[in-house]
Amino acid sequence: MRTFVSALAVLIGLFMAAVAVPAMWVDRNIVQEDGFVALTGPLGQDPAFQQRLASTAVGSLGSDRMPAAVTDLVRPILDRAATSLSSLPGYPQAWTETLRKSHRLSFADPSTLPPGADGVSALTLDVAPLVGLVAKQVADATSLPLRGPDQVLINIGQANHRQLVEQVSALAPMGYAVGVGALVAFALAFVAARRRWTVLVGIGAGALVLAGGWKLATDAAGGVVARTRSGNQVAELFKREFVAAASASYGQWVLAAAVVGALLLVLGLVLRTVGGRRRA
């Protein structure tokens, strides 16, 4: 009976861990604003993505916001911004604010969204801070009271993804409680086991299997996201780089789980060998 209880507890613990680990990663790196900014911050240094961002920022100002008399004076500034946006003073702060505003739009309660953002999809970039950065350069050079628009939205994904985002936001934080439940199940397995080395071997082998499953699931999810078309070049570039960054970040968690699983497996086999020699 004790062996059965121990084996059942190990299986329950592995099942809970299979849910808890990805849920905790999603909460820390996507649902939480600081984690999202840390994950996506390096995307702003990608040359191709920078070029598209710069074109969008410059195009969002438009000639209708500036008097025709200063067009020739402003054009070199806009051309310089369109080719080297990241070199402008304040670019890192503007990019970080872009990510924070985008996260709030994408993960906020729909009832709290500002006017004009009702139809945001699963992930929406608001590049208004970058447009404002370009506008500030023009204003400083010409003394024109030029301000960028309050919102410049770029939808990534489709509108029906909004419901999925809401579900993820609600469920991902539960991963911590599920993780605690997995630890309790493993502890119960140790208490009930007649041969505790078998628990280590079972948890270790199970962790290796889970790591392989998580890797396959990550690749499959990345393929699904890659096949979703938004029709916007900035969105496509951001999506491609975001999937790569997320896969690399989650891959570290998967690798850590595989290493821990291998160590537990080896430890269990060592304990079995040592225990067998002692009995002999």
Q: Taking the domains of the chain in order of start, what are their residue ranges?
A: 2-30+166-275, 45-159
At residue 252, the 3 state secondary structure works out as helix
Q: What is the pLDDT of residues 112-156, one digit of tens each?
A: 555 555 555 567 888 888 888 888 877 777 776 777 778 888 877
The pLDDT of residue 53:
78
Query: CB–CB of 120/137 below 8 Å?
Result: no
Q: Which residue has the higher pLDDT, 221 or 159?
A: 221
| pLDDT tens per residue, range 145-194 | 777 778 888 877 666 667 777 888 888 999 999 999 999 999 999 999 88
Give the least confident one: 39-48, 167-176, 258-267. 39-48
Say which amino acid occupies 101.
Answer: K
**What's this model's pTM, rounded to 2 decimal places?**
0.85
CB-neighbour burial class of residue 22 (10 A; exposed 0-12, middle 13-18, buried 19+): buried
Burial class (CB in 10 A: 0-12, 13-18, 19+), 229: exposed
